[in-house]
Amino acid sequence: MTECKVAVVGTGYVGLTTGACLAEFGHDVVCLDIDSNKIDRLSSGEIPIYEDGLQHLVSRNTEEGRLRFTTNSAALDDREFAYLCVPTPRRNDGSVDLSFLESAVDSLRPHLRPGAVVINKSTVPVRCTRFVEDRLRRPDVSVVSNPEFLREGSAVADFLKPDRVVIGSDDREAASRVASLYLETRAPIMITDAASAETIKYVANAFLATKLSFANSVAALCEAVGAEASEVLLGIGYDGRIGHQFLRPGPGWGGSCFPKDTRALVHIADEAGYDFALLRSVIETNETQFARVVDRIGQLAPGGLEGASITVLGLTFKAGTDDLRESPALEIVDRLIAAGATVTGYDPTVIDAVAPSWDVAGDPYSACEGSDVVAVLTEWDEFKDLDLQKVADAMRGDVIFDARSVVDRARATRCGLRYAGIGTR
Ligand SMILES: NC(=O)c1ccc[n+]([C@@H]2O[C@H](COP(=O)([O-])OP(=O)(O)OC[C@H]3O[C@@H](n4cnc5c(N)ncnc54)[C@H](O)[C@@H]3O)[C@@H](O)[C@H]2O)c1
């Protein structure tokens, strides 16, 4: 493999994983960020995020001289490729805030060498590759779309062995050069036009969110008709056209991508004159799910939510990450507090208080002290192995509400707990 000189602009969940994995493939990588504190921590060997396998990869590649961190844009001067991995948050109307991308592009302009390729990994509205080209004002530089599909919690494994690599550009030579960066992955590489690549990213997330909202709707149906959602979803999943993945009911979907990307796609469609009613309904179903979970906890608390003491186990938006952005658990905590409950949370990756209105405990058992209802809202493995007798002994009440189907129901019952879940009798 030819070793390439790569820059990664934006060293967050996507950028740090991208930089570390490309270095692991043998490329010479420099990661840039405007956050000097983050760069200082990374340069001293500290990983600012929790992501399985990332520490090891960063340490090894830093020690072997293939990976370094800086705030100085001059590091771009000799780079053949520059990845953009900066945030693209949502605005209130669902549209995408491109200000981080704009300033990143501005910082690239004076430094890129002729013939360099800018690779956009940030999730951006359709035709943004053209927008980046126009803003860059460097006709001697190509801009290529290369959306990222990694999942937090398995980001390293997903990057090293992706299901596919999508590259969008009308410049076939630039696209082939980008493809060569991924040869080590042995994944199918799809080269398409930029607008299609950008659309693939949004549509992939929209489909996954649709599956989750569908599973939650099926769970609600099962509760109404007296069927077991886990059995029903297992039963349909055996059909090869449906599959088992992403068909588990839960407290609602969240995280830094699905909420913003689904709303962005509705907005993009609207602006183009198409009413994406199905996707609007998927988003609404998710909002309803948060409300359903809060109502259910209220029904399970002996005197309702007013004055109830609720323990929330799991605060991150999914297991395997420390990411709290748009976490369903936090949305539910806010609603519980608004309804008059006192909340204590616990999460393996959250040490400090998240908000002044509720406490975060240092271990799951002290979080359950005096609790009326324990609600499991993130599917951490640790919660599968809880000492349920210790949980029962610590509680004032006796209800465990398992929104992620991770607790062993029979064991909970043996320990004197009343088990409740989503889509189950
Ligand atoms: N997190 C995910 O799972 C995921 C998956 C696929 C795609 N994406 C997309 O990737 C992009 C980045 O997401 P993330 O979760 O890594 O974000 P993040 O917030 O974790 O990291 C972004 C980083 O960019 C830095 N930054 C901002 N402006 C900069 C600039 N001008 N120059 C240099 N650095 C700058 C920030 O300081 C931060 O460290 C988003 O568009 C997101 O939608 C995210």
Q: Tell me how far the alpha carbon of residue 221 lies from the centroid of ligand 1, in angstroms.
A: 38
**What is residue 76's DSSP assignment?**
G
Burial of residue 2 (number of CB atoms within 10 Å: 0-12, 13-18, 19+): exposed
* 257 is an active site residue: yes
Q: Which of 128, 257, 368, 415 is catalytic?
A: 257
Amino acid at 190: M
Q: What is the per-residue pLDDT for 153?
A: 96
**What is the four-CA torsion angle of 84, 85, 91, 96, rounded to 10 degrees?**
40
This prediction's pTM? 0.96
Report the pLDDT value the prediction gives residue 177, as an integer from 0 to 100. Answer: 98
Residues 6+ apart with CB under 8 A from 192: 166, 167, 168, 200
Residues 6+ apart with CB under 8 A from 367: 311, 312, 313, 344, 345, 346, 361
Give, using CA atoms, the residue closest to atom 1 of ligand 1. Answer: 13
Burial of residue 42 (CB within 10 Å: 0-12, 13-18, 19+) is: buried
Q: How far apart are CA 236 and CA 256, in angstroms?
A: 29
Cβ-Cβ contacts under 8 Å for 124 (sequence gap 6 or more): 88, 96, 98, 101, 131, 145, 198
Q: Ligand 1 centre from 282 Cα, in Å?
A: 25
Q: How far apart are CA 339 and CA 307, in angstroms?
A: 9
Query: Going by CA atoms, what residue is nearest to atom 4 of ligand 1?
Result: 14
Which residues sit opposite 374 in a β-bridge? 311, 400
Q: For a pocket test of ligand 1, which of 9, 13, 253, 323 has the largest count of ligand atoms closer than 8 A to its C-beta?
A: 13
Q: What is the DSSP letter of 112?
A: P
393 C-beta neighbours (distance < 10 Å), count: 13
- Spatial strand order of the sheet with 418-421 comes to 359-360, 342-346, 309-313, 373-376, 399-402, 418-421
CA atoms of 138 and 132, how far apart (whole Å): 10
Model pLDDT, residue 1:
66
Gap between the Cα atoms of 355 and 361, Å rounded: 13
In a structure prediction context, what are the per-residue pLDDT tens digits for the chain, which is 425 residues long? 679 999 999 999 999 999 999 999 999 999 999 999 999 999 999 999 999 999 999 999 999 999 999 999 999 999 999 999 999 999 999 999 999 999 999 999 999 999 999 999 999 999 999 999 999 999 999 999 999 999 999 999 999 999 999 999 999 999 999 999 999 999 999 999 999 999 999 999 999 999 999 999 999 999 999 999 999 999 999 999 999 999 999 999 999 999 999 999 999 999 999 999 999 999 999 999 999 999 999 999 999 999 999 999 999 999 999 999 999 999 999 999 999 999 999 999 999 999 999 999 999 999 999 999 999 999 999 999 999 999 999 999 999 999 999 999 999 999 999 999 999 98
* 86, 135, 158, 262, best to mutate for ligand 1 pocket (most atoms within 8 Å of CB): 86
- 145 membership: H or E segment, kind and range: strand 142-145
All structural domains of the chain:
5-192 (3.40.50.720), 228-425 (3.40.50.720)
- Give 110 Cα–ligand 1 centroid separation in angstroms: 22
Q: Is 34 strand, coil or helix?
A: coil
CA–centroid distance, 9 to ligand 1, in Å, is: 9
The terminus-to-terminus CA distance of the chain in angstroms comes to 56
Ligand 1 contacts CB of residue 123 (under 6 A): yes
* Confidence at residue 2, expressed as pLDDT on a 0 to 100 scale: 75
Positive or negative, the Cα torsion across 410, 416, 422, 425? positive
